[in-house]
Chains A and B, each alone.
Chain A
Amino acid sequence: MTEPFEHLIRSTLTDLAEEAPIVHDQLSRAERRVRNRRRATVTVGAVSTLAAILIATPLALAATGSDEPPPAVPSPAGPAAVPSPPVPTPSAPTTVPTVEPSPGGAPGDPSITPGVPGQPTVKPSPSTRPGLPSTPGAPGKPLVSPTPTTPLGPPGVPGRPTVTPIPSR
């Protein structure tokens, strides 16, 4: 039963194929279609790129700015003060050598030892900047302890005056 039916399909298709339209100059029309398609592709690509840039640029900027810490909360007391950048101060002036010469001491009391001159007690203050988080574990620089040029006299004895000779002309 399928054989005659398939034969009918074949013969009908053959008849139909003979009725195909006769066309001319298909190449120029196809080339025009190629140009239009290429132009449309370029236009769509450019518009897509522009749209992607317009959409992605604000998102990228927002993502980049989120890495920084949030801004400080303004004080409700008054207008926001302009934060001045901390001035780096050298650590040398901050170290005030505290020399505690023992004044004389009690005579006859051998238990009291006089302060050792030349070894001032330095109280180093940590040089942390106010308002900025300090980095933990970063020790400050060792402070330079000035040594007095002139040795101090014995406790209770005033130092000898330094006489500077002035040459006479």
Chain B
Amino acid sequence: MDEDERARLAEFVGSRTPALMRVAYLLTGDRNAAEDLFQSALARTIPKWGTIRHADPEGYLRVVMYREQISWWRRLRRWRETPLNPADEPVGGDPSGGTDVRLAMRAALRHLPPTQRAVVVLRYYEDLPEARVAELLGCSVGTVRSRTHRAVKRLRDLLPDVDRLEVRR
């Protein structure tokens, strides 16, 4: 890689790192794991930079991150429970406008497996349609639907006061 291409790569990384780190943090739910995921995806992207720099390098990097997160090898390497912060623990009733429910939802999101978490992030944070999610993750649309359904069902099960939430809304 010559100096010109390396300068473009450095510019791309510097400008897109915050947005990509947000996605990585949502996918992993952990700061260190997010940084590791982003570095790993970037390391896979750098050798391909000569061919993808004119196309869509950010899309390529995002796809690498999504697939790296749900890959079997990565799950095998990080087979551990994500520690919860004290603020993520489920709390009791709070009359201050649903803060308790949000904290409970945050804790519930950390308990989702990587595949379901990736589908939730792509569907509800990136606002991508099911077909696009299936294309990015390399699976079928039916798989995306089933994973979304299971993820939402598990979140409902993990939330303590979802009925109260519906009343408030």
Chain A positions within 8 Å of B, measured between CB atoms, are 1-2, 4-23, 26-27, 29-31, 33-34, 37
Contacts and interface: CB of A to CB of B under 8 A. Distances in A.
A27 B102 contact: no
9 contacts: A8-B101, A8-B165, A13-B109, A13-B124, A17-B22, A20-B22, A27-B10, A30-B42, A33-B40
A34 B106 contact: no
Contact of A8 (B13, B22, B102): B102
Given A8-B165, A9-B120, A16 B43 contact: no
B169 A20 contact: no
A61 B106 CA distance: 65
B102 A11 contact: yes
A47 B63 CA distance: 32
Name the prevailing secondary structure of the B interface residues. Answer: helix
A26 to B, nearest CB: 6
A7 B166 CA distance: 11
Interface string B141-163: 00000000000100110000010
Contacts of B42: 26-27, 30
Contact of B46 (A12, A13, A23, A30): A30
A30 B26 contact: no
Contacts of B46: 30-31, 34
Contact of A17 (B25, B31, B43): B25
B10 to A, nearest CB: 5
Contacts of B17: 23, 26
